[in-house]
Amino acid sequence: MTDDDRGGALEIAEPGSGLLVEPGSGGPGSWLAALNRARSELDRERAAAPALAAELLALPAGQRREQLLREPRFQTWGLCELLLARSLEPMEPAAAAVLAELALAGLDRLDPERHPAPVAGDLRARAWAAAGEARRRQGDLAGAEEALRAAAASLAQGTGDPLVEARLLEFEAAVRRDQGRAGEAAALLKQAAARYRQVGETQQLERVVAARESILREGSPVLPRPARRPG
């Protein structure tokens, strides 16, 4: 098997069905109704998230996680999504890790009746990747490896979204590069590029292809951070 054939830590991930609800649970009409209810709930949570985030982050750092775990009103998809998005903004890695780990704590408290497991799996995989990237930037490769395994396990419960898998492949490539395993990093970026090509993400594809070429040419470059995508 060549380096390009290896899937790294993500080989363990077997994506889920990608369905928000079981299609056989009541026919097309009930499935569409459930989908519309889920979307409406998500819209409400996203609208409330900025105020909840401001309230939570105004607390002393040592109290935020405890408050999130104790107060159900903080245990929403919208807040978890917003915390994750903010963790990806330019900032010190320690601060990014705090936000990503708050998102993970909130995801563990989501109501499965309102937040289908496959969709939560995607967000959890992204949050673990963000937490692991922050650890990697702090030089904690053991912690980054632990986060990578958790992200792969979450991906296995997800929807099979190629964009989520591509992001995790990029994260693993960064870890392998820092471990001095440039060949594996290049192979993982080739797989990430294939995912971006599959869904027509031209900008992301070009960035990853350039990073891979740099690895092959120089051995161990600094990978550019993935561009943020709306939502």
Distance between CA atoms of residues 132 and 92, nearest Å? 14
Task: Return the structure tokens found at 182.
Answer: 């440039």
Question: Looking at residue 11, what is its pLDDT?
Answer: 53
Question: In this structure, are 55 and 140 located in the same domain?
Answer: yes
Question: In this structure, are 131 and 43 located in the same domain?
Answer: yes
Residue 4 belongs to some domain of the structure? no
Question: In this structure, are 208 and 221 located in the same domain?
Answer: yes
Question: In this structure, are 152 and 172 located in the same domain?
Answer: no
Q: Kindly report, residue by residue over 124-173, the tens digit of the pLDDT.
A: 999 999 999 999 999 999 999 999 999 999 999 999 999 999 999 999 99
Question: In this structure, are 71 and 53 located in the same domain?
Answer: yes
Question: Looking at residue 2, what is its pLDDT?
Answer: 46
CB 185 within 8 A of CB 176: yes
Question: Looking at residue 230, what is its pLDDT?
Answer: 46
Residue 67 belongs to some domain of the structure? yes
For residues 225 and 169, the model is more confident at: 169
Residue 20 belongs to some domain of the structure? no
Question: Looking at residue 24, what is its pLDDT?
Answer: 45
By the 10 Å C-beta count (0-12 exposed, 13-18 middle, 19+ buried), 173 is classed as: buried
Question: Looking at residue 13, what is its pLDDT?
Answer: 42
Q: pLDDT confidence of 20, banded at 50, 70, 90? A: very low
Share of the chain above pLDDT 70, in %: 80
Question: In this structure, are 123 and 195 located in the same domain?
Answer: no
Residue 181 belongs to some domain of the structure? yes
Range of the structural domain that residue 147 is part of = 28-160
Tell me the average pLDDT of the chain: 86
Residue 183 belongs to some domain of the structure? yes
Q: Which of 160, 179, 213 is the last residue of a domain?
A: 160
Residue corresponding to tokens 């245990």: 75
Question: Looking at residue 34, what is its pLDDT?
Answer: 65
Question: In this structure, are 97 and 41 located in the same domain?
Answer: yes
pLDDT for residue 222 is more than 70: no
Q: Which of 124, 140, 160 is the last residue of a domain?
A: 160
CATH number at residue 47: 1.25.40
pLDDT for residue 120 is more than 90: yes
Q: Kindly report, residue by residue over 43-83, the tens digit of the pLDDT.
A: 999 999 999 999 999 999 999 999 999 999 999 999 999 99
Angle between helices 93-107 and 117-137 (to 10 degrees): 160
Residue 6 belongs to some domain of the structure? no
Question: In this structure, are 128 and 174 located in the same domain?
Answer: no
Residues in the chain: 231
Q: Which of 160, 192, 208 is the last residue of a domain?
A: 160
DSSP tally for the chain: helices H, then strands E: 9, 0
Question: In this structure, are 136 and 165 located in the same domain?
Answer: no
Total number of domains constituting the chain:
2
Question: In this structure, are 51 and 125 located in the same domain?
Answer: yes
Residue 208 belongs to some domain of the structure? yes
Question: In this structure, are 63 and 149 located in the same domain?
Answer: yes
Question: In this structure, are 154 and 166 located in the same domain?
Answer: no
The H-or-E segment that residue 102 falls in is: helix 93-107
